[in-house]
Amino acid sequence: MFSDTPKGARASAQLYSLVETAKANGQEPYAWLRHALELLPLATSVEDYEALLPWNCSPVSLS
């Protein structure tokens, strides 16, 4: 609706999906996204990636 291109619409939908998934799992979206994006470059195994999922993070550990 507010995107100028199909790629922009897809990117917006992906971001909205991440935000709503964080909310559904009791996370504050900005804090969780910041946490995940800061640690993502350090992930080297499947377990590292899985630990960044919003249902595997405790809200207290994100502060």
User: Is residue 9 predicted with pLDDT exceeding 60?
Assistant: yes
pLDDT band at 10 (very low <50, low <70, confident <90, very high): very high
Alpha helices of 25-60 — where are they, by DSSP H? 29-39, 46-51
Q: Over the stretch 30-60, which tens digit does the pLDDT of each residue have?
A: 999 999 999 999 999 999 999 999 999 887 5
HSE-up of residue 30 (Cα within 13 Å, Cβ side): 0
| pTM score of the predicted model | 0.80
Cα distance between residue 38 and residue 13, in whole Å: 22
Closest Cα partner for 16 from 63, 41, 1, 48?
A: 1
